[in-house]
Structure 1
Amino acid sequence: MGNTKESIKKIAIHLGLVFLTVTVLSFIFLKIYLPSYTNHGQTVTVPNLEGYGVEELEDFLSERDLSYEVNIDSGFNAEAKPFAVLKQNPKPDSKVKRGRKIYVTLNARTAPLIKMPNLVNSPLKNAQEILGNIGLVRGEIIYVPDIGDNVVLEQKYRGRNISEGFEIPKGSQVDLVVGDGLGNQTLEVPSLTGLDEIDAEFLIIGSGLRMGNIDYVQTDSVASGIIIKQMPPAGASVKTGEQIHVWISENKKSGNNF
């Protein structure tokens, strides 16, 4: 009987020692080794890198025990310098471990090309939203007499009409010719024959009408640059804001060589 009690006592002591050993080792692992291994508590605050040039990042981040990697995809902001940081991950003021890599998106050197949508006959408000959504800027709004109230009649880039699908740089300004809603008056089409393009456009706009398509016709009987035909013809009755299409002479000897 005494031997049995002695054996039980020894087993209990051994189990107690094992439990104590496990407890001590667990404490050392969780409180000392693991925090040391994972750099627990050794964090840094991510700085705001927006606007920094890529050539500045190496020294700037290494001083803060951080590094960086450039994302394959780039963005574009016309107001930022080429290869400047546009976005970053993690975001500024985030708490990260020392040595953490910051992923940055850089500004492209040149603007990507955007295909121009068709804004003609769209309400001005919708046209402005479309331009903003695709990365273009609404430029000047030119009101002309037309029955369409705040309806886009023409879309222009650098003073020229552009059609749907025409590619222009992202961030470009697009001017919009818009109806003023007062184009219900009847006008008489002026005679444009014999005028050059500049004088004809001045007369058309001054008459409350709009310049339409311009076609060039090769001829050796009229000097180059002179209007030889128009549609609607002179004297026709039209509504305010309607387009006048013209044909301009082009001397055969001075034709374009491509």
Structure 2
Amino acid sequence: MSIFKVNSWKDLALHAFIIIGLGVVFIFIFFFIYLPMSTNHGETITVPDVRGITLDELDDFLGMRDLRYEVTADSGFSANLPPLAVLKQFPQPNAKVKENRKIYVTLNAERAPLVRMPKLVSGSVKNAQLVLKTYDLELGEITYVPDLALNYVLEQRTDGREVLEGERIPKGSIIDLVVGDGLGKQSLESPNLIGLDLESAQFAIVGSGLKIGETKYEKEGVAVIETEMEDGTFTYKEQKVSPGAVFKQRPSAGIRMRLGQMVDLWVYSPDSLNTNPTLLDQ
């Protein structure tokens, strides 16, 4: 036991040096040998992307990679993912973590939350697209029907039925729109313009709710008049018109048309005739 006997200051210093040396060796062994071996120091795992994976698949998927998971209390909803699929994760994909690290996941709701159907009727198609996106609803088919209001929503539908403003529907529902085509339901017969001067013919077209189409000038002007007989047959005869008068029109007189459709005109215009634009052409 003489090694521990202190007879002088030299012995005391020697003992202190031995104790300090043993302490340094212990610390080195603990932190740089034992601890790295027991904790796999320097070994990391790349976090996989688990977004879109369902809860049933998650345990096996992470277990094969020596990782665990925990479902957070938060939830969300995406119509593009199945129920109970991972919406969010932490740590993010490609992060470096230790073996057996826990991955926190947020799942897609089993049922879509309900939202109130917004009012789309009487608004434009463009406005409807913006409103549907705000409410997390999807735009479906757009069906055009005869109506004077062009691109105005007349009806909003889902699953083949009309859906009313304020009705609760699942988020992500597909909304179909019935929209006006701008032409209207009203129909009429095209007026008889043969023999009228150009300006009178144009006024007759506009006054009927139709539109002036293309006007052509020709040096020879002979109108072909069609007459229906009592037995249902038709007879045709040629008729000359005055210079500057309409001798042909398309569609022909008496054809059923809708409001806003165009009527083309052919005008008898000899070389000497003035063909300056009319007031309706300007």
- TM-score, L = length of structure 2: 0.51
Aligned match of 2:107 = 106
Percent of aligned positions with the same letter in both sequences? 56
Assess, with a 3 A threshold, how the Cα gap between structure 1 residues 98 and 151 changes in structure 2: closer, same or farther: same
Deviations 1:55-107 (A, max 9, x none): 33223323322111112222334453332223222222222222222111222
- Which moves more between the two structures, 36-45 or 151-160? 36-45
Take 2:53 and 2:176, find their aligned partners in 1: how far apart are those partners? 33
Aligned partner letter, 1:46: V
Aligned position for 2:182: 181
> 1:158 offset after TM fit, Å?
2.5
User: What amino acid does structure 1 have at the position aligned with 2:46?
Assistant: T
* In structure 1, C-alpha distance between the alignment counterparts of 2:136 and 2:42, rounded to whole Å: 43
Q: Distance in 2 between matches of 1:77 and 1:157?
A: 19
Partners of 1:38 and 1:146 in 2: CA distance: 75
Corresponding residue of 1:127: 128
Q: Match for residue 160 of structure 1?
A: 161
CA–CA distance in structure 2, aligned partners of residues 21 and 125 of structure 1: 80
Q: CA deviation at 1:167?
A: 0.8
1:151 aligns with 2:148: no
Distance of 1:165 and 1:125 partners within structure 2? 20
- What is aligned with 2:119? 118
C-alpha distance in structure 2 between counterparts of 1:96 and 1:123, whole Å: 52
Gaps of 5+ in 1: 1-19, 189-238, 241-258
1: distance between equivalents of 2:173 and 2:84?
Answer: 19
Greater helix content: 1
Offset of 1:37 from its aligned partner? 8.4
Kindly provide the amino acid, as one letter, of the partner of residue 176 in structure 1. Answer: L
Task: Note the alpha carbon deviations across 1:83-140, whole angstroms, 9 max, x for none.
Answer: 2223222222222222222111222222221211111222212212321332211111
Q: Which structure is larger by alpha-carbon Rg, 1 or 2?
A: 2
- In the alignment, residue 150 of structure 2 is paired with which amino acid? D
Amino acid at match of 1:130: V
Q: 1:180 to 1:22 in 2, by over 3 A?
A: farther
* Secondary structure of the structure 1 residue equivalent to 2:74: coil
2:53 maps to 52
Change (3 A) 1:156 1:24: same
- Looking at structure 1, the residues matched to 41 and 122 of structure 2 have their Cα atoms a distance apart, in angstroms, of 62
Aligned match of 2:83? 82
Aligned counterparts of 1:35 and 1:147: Cα–Cα separation in 2:
79
Q: Deviations over 1:161-198 (max 9, x none)?
A: 22221111122111111122223x7569xxxxxxxxxx
Gaps of 5+ in 2: 1-20, 189-257, 260-282
The 3-state SS of whatever aligns with 1:80 is coil
Distance 1:127 1:21 in 2: 79
CA distance in 2, matches of 1:148, 1:30: 80
The list of structure 1 runs, each at least 4 consecutive aligned residues, that deviate by more than 6 angstroms after superposition, is 20-38
How many angstroms apart in 2 are the aligned matches of 1:33 and 1:150? 75
Q: Tell me the CA shift for residue 143 of structure 1.
A: 0.9
Distance (Å, rounded) in 2 between the aligned partners of 1:126 and 1:63: 49
Write the distance in 2 (CA, Å) between the matches of 1:30 and 1:148. Answer: 80
Match for 1:111: what amino acid? A
CA RMSD of aligned residues (A): 3.7
2:67 corresponds to: 66
Aligned length: 182
Aligned to 1:199: none
Under a length normalisation based on structure 1, what TM-score does the superposition of the two structures give?
0.55
Q: Tell me by how many angstroms 1:34 deviates.
A: 7.9
